[in-house]
């Protein structure tokens, strides 16, 4: 009988501390889409890094499911190449790899072939016997979303979903990648289908932003620090800006991106999750449902946007051709696979309100886009200005307000902008930043988001995964914007130059309120 392992509290001090010790049971991680990009770039390296840094059960096994004819050795070689190329920790440790790779298996099974699921089931049963995986499985859907329904139905029909199993007789969990639906209706349809096979507590809808260290640190910062907790409200906060900027274009994902656009690709999931964490009330504890209940309350407090508000408070744009980083890049509609008439947005800016006691009157400005000046994701809390009466004579109107900036990527960390006196005889004032970088403060780079999330899934902890109601509420908001944009269909879309901070219309949106975007 396999032993369960006690994990060090360093993995997740917040929740381990709140709930006592957590244990990982032996299990098999079944990755649908074994030869795909996400599997190679993120999942296999994350599992290897967990094996390297955490006390994982020796029985942990991974089964890749794909349509190509590979044997176990070929799959292991592909996995080694992936770790060699993409792992956070390199070079590969031969001893750890030796043990880890013995737990890697491949199952050839086209997703729509029921016989493939019989083969998969037999393999999993055999691993239970040979490796002691106790009937526990994580099914990871790392495939094109159009395959999700087929895989879910086949898992249900092959009796692998284990919905009604009594505790202790083997569990099944399913991880669903983004995008989770294309609109509210399809997300509801997917949720309905999932619920025919799995209970809600078996379903792990992944949003990898939630696995990032700084995102989790939002809760520690807000609720663990006496200096911030009392001022986190409309009385002291002027406005909040959430930016998720990328300098890259669509990087070969033309078909997906042209369908999705920035609103569905970024706002519905990552940005709304950041907003909910920044704005939520303190949860009663750090249990999955307590935290998610609070996030849902925030999403419910965003009033539906009427058409006139959508016209006034949202901006979309599309990148044209131009120069970025000394390189000439094509415009969105010149990218391979994008129709020249496409009006898909590669940039969105919007202003949202949260109608509750804490946030009434505090605007949340959001922007996301591709081919912008640089890659940065941050939440910036802009505080109200003090009266400045004392500094009137030295140009108090030029003083800047304090900004607390939570940098999600790159260089995860926090900075606080304060005004300070410039050394010298005169009274001159200049903003300075108090900085905290994860790497520098703790001497280690934070783990990859996928490591944290896979580990949490093994624990059965869904705090950092989105619940059905969260997903649907966020889709409701995004749908209303998308619908207004399409009715009547726009004849054009504002263009912006690559390497800039987006279309001019986005500046107008915020300048109307006598505020400006933070410089990228
Ligand atoms: N890539 C990323 O960075 C990223 C980031 C966030 C989310 N995601 C999401 O993760 C999911 C996977 O993305 P991806 O980029 O890894 O996709 P991908 O590279 O296209 O991989 C898809 C995988 O599915 C397999 N496959 C396709 N059709 C199959 C079939 N009929 N039967 C069996 N196997 C089949 C492919 O096998 P073949 O090799 O034989 O084609 C491949 O292994 C998507 O939902 C995506 O939105 C990806």
Residues with Cβ within 8 Å of residue 514, at least 6 apart in sequence: none
For residues 143 and 151, the answer to whether their CB atoms sit within 8 Å is yes
Q: What are the E-state strand segments in 101-186?
A: 104-108, 137-141, 172-176
| Bond prior to 91 in cis (omega within 30° of 0) | yes
Evaluate: CB of 439 within 6 angstroms of ligand 1. no
Task: From residue 145, give the alpha-carbon distance in Å to each of 138, 151, 158, 190, 244.
Answer: 18, 10, 20, 10, 23
Of 385 and 346, the structure prediction assigns the larger pLDDT to 346
Lowest-pLDDT range of 5-19, 68-82, 303-317: 5-19
Alpha carbons 430 and 282: distance in angstroms, whole number: 35
- Going by pLDDT thresholds of 50, 70 and 90, the confidence category of residue 321 is very high
Judge whether residue 7 has pLDDT over 50.
Answer: no
Q: Where do the DSSP E strands lie in 320-474?
A: 322-324, 327-329, 347-352, 364-369, 376-383, 403-409, 413-421, 429-437
Domains along the chain with CATH numbers: 5-209 (3.40.50.720), 217-444+463-511 (3.30.360.10)
**What pLDDT is recorded for position 21?**
62
Among 67, 113, 141, which is best to mutate for testing ligand 1, by the most ligand atoms less than 8 A from CB? 67
Rounded distance from Cα 37 to ligand 1 centre (Å): 6
pLDDT confidence of 5, banded at 50, 70, 90?
Answer: very low
What is the whole-number distance in angstroms between the Cα of residue 199 and the centre of ligand 1?
25
The mean of the pLDDT values for the chain is 92
At 417-474, the pLDDT tens digits run: 999 999 999 888 899 999 998 888 888 878 899 999 999 999 999 999 999 999 999 9
Residue 16 pLDDT > 70: no
Whether the CB-CB separation of 238 and 383 falls below 8 Å is answered with yes
Q: What is the DSSP letter of 180?
A: -
Q: Which range (16-20, 427-431, 486-490) has the least confidence?
A: 16-20
- Average pLDDT over every residue of 72-99: 96
Active site residue 182: no
Do 68 and 101 touch, CB atoms closer than 8 A? no
Tell me what pLDDT residue 491 has.
76
pLDDT band at 254 (very low <50, low <70, confident <90, very high): very high
Cβ(97) – ligand 1 distance below 6 Å: no
Is the pLDDT confidence value at 18 over 60? no
CB-CB contact of 417 with 390 (8 Å): no
- pLDDT of 300 reads 98
Segment holding 23, helix H or strand E: strand 23-24
Contact 127, 63 (CB under 8 A): yes
Element holding 32 (H helix, E strand): strand 28-32
- Asked if 83 contacts 48 with a C-beta cutoff of 8 angstroms, the reply is yes
Can you tell me the distance from the alpha carbon of 216 to that of 14, in angstroms, rounded to the nearest whole number?
Answer: 9
Residue 396 has pLDDT above 80, yes or no: no
- Whether the per-residue pLDDT at 345 is higher than 90: the answer is yes
Least confident stretch, 1-15, 62-76, 169-183? 1-15
Ligand 1 pocket, residue 211 CB under 6 Å: no
User: Quick check: 119 pLDDT over 80?
Assistant: yes
The four Cα atoms 281, 285, 288, 291 give a dihedral, to 10 degrees, of: 0
The predicted structure's pLDDT at residue 163:
87
Q: Is 33 in the pocket of ligand 1 (CB under 6 A)?
A: yes
Residue 15 has pLDDT above 90, yes or no: no
Nearest to 515 by CA among 385, 404, 422, 393: 385
145 Cβ inside 6 Å of ligand 1: yes
Q: Measured at the alpha carbon of residue 314, what is the angle toward residues 301 and 344, in degrees to the nearest 5?
A: 120
Assign 20 a pLDDT band (cuts: 50, 70, 90): very low
Residue of 40, 182, 270, 487 marked catalytic: 270
Which residue minimizes the CA distance to atom 45 of ligand 1?
A: 144
From the CA atom positions of the chain, what is the Rg in Å? Answer: 24
Percent of the chain past pLDDT 70, that is, above it, reads: 96
pLDDT band at 178 (very low <50, low <70, confident <90, very high): very high
Sheet containing 364-369: order of strands:
429-437, 413-421, 403-409, 376-383, 237-245, 364-369, 347-352, 314-319, 495-496
DSSP per-residue string spanning 228-271: TGGG-STTTEEEEEEEEE-SS--TT-HHHHHHHHHIIIIIIIII
> Which position has the higher pLDDT, 16 or 117?
117
Looking at the predicted structure, is the pLDDT value of residue 11 above 60?
A: no
């Amino acid at each position: 009988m396999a032993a369960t392992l006690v994990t060090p509290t360093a993995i997740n001090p917040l929740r381990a501390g709140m709930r006592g010790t957590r244990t990982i049971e032996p299990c098999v991680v079944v990755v649908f889409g074994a030869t795909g990009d996400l599997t190679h770039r993120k999942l296999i390296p994350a599992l290897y890094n967990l094996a390297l840094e955490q006390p994982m059960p020796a029985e942990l096994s991974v089964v890749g499911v794909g349509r190509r004819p590979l044997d176990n050795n070929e799959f292991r070689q592909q996995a080694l190449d992936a770790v060699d190329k993409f792992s956070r920790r390199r070079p590969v440790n031969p001893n750890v790899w030796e043990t880890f790779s013995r737990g890697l298996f491949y199952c050839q099974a086209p997703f729509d072939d029921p016989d493939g699921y019989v083969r998969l089931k037999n393999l999993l049963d055999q691993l239970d016997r040979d490796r002691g995986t106790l009937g526990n499985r994580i099914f990871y859907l790392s495939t094109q979303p159009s395959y999700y329904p087929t895989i879910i139905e086949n898992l249900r029909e092959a009796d692998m979903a284990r919905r009604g199993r009594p505790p202790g007789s083997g569990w099944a969990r399913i991880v669903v990648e983004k995008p989770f639906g294309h609109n509210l209706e399809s997300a509801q349809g997917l949720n309905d289908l999932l619920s025919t096979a799995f209970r809600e507590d078996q379903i792990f809808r992944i949003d990898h932003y939630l696995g990032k260290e700084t995102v989790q640190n939002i809760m520690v910062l807000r609720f663990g620090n006496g200096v911030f907790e009392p001022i986190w409200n409309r009385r002291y906060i002027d406005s909040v800006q959430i930016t998720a900027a990328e300098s890259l274009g669509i990087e070969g994902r033309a078909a997906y991106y042209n369908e999705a656009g920035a609103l569905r690709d970024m706002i519905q999931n990552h940005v709304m999750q950041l907003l909910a964490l920044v704005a939520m009330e303190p949860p009663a504890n750090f249990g999955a449902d307590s935290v998610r209940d609070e996030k849902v309350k925030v999403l419910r407090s965003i009033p539906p946007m009427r058409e006139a508000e959508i016209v006034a408070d949202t901006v979309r744009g599309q990148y044209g051709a131009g120069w970025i980083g000394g390189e000439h890049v094509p415009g969105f509609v010149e990218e391979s696979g994008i129709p020249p008439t496409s009006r898909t947005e590669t940039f969105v800016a919007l202003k949202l309100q949260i109608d509750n006691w804490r946030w009434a009157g505090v605007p949340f400005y959001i922007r996301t886009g591709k081919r912008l000046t640089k890659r940065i994701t941050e939440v910036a809390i802009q505080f109200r200005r003090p009266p400045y009466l004392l500094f009137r004579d030295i140009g108090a109107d030029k003083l800047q307000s304090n900004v607390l900036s939570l940098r999600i990527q790159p260089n995860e960390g926090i900075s606080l902008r304060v005004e300070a006196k410039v050394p010298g005889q005169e009274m001159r004032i200049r903003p300075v930043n108090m900085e905290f970088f994860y790497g520098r403060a703790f001497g280690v780079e934070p783990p990859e988001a996928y490591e944290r999330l896979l580990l949490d899934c093994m624990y059965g902890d869904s705090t950092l995964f989105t619940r059905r109601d969260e997903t649907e509420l966020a889709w409701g908001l995004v749908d209303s914007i998308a619908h207004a944009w399409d009715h009547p269909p726009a004849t054009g879309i504002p263009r912006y130059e690559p390497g800039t901070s987006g279309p001019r219309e986005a500046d107008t949106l915020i300048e109307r309120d006598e505020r400006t975007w933070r410089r990228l």
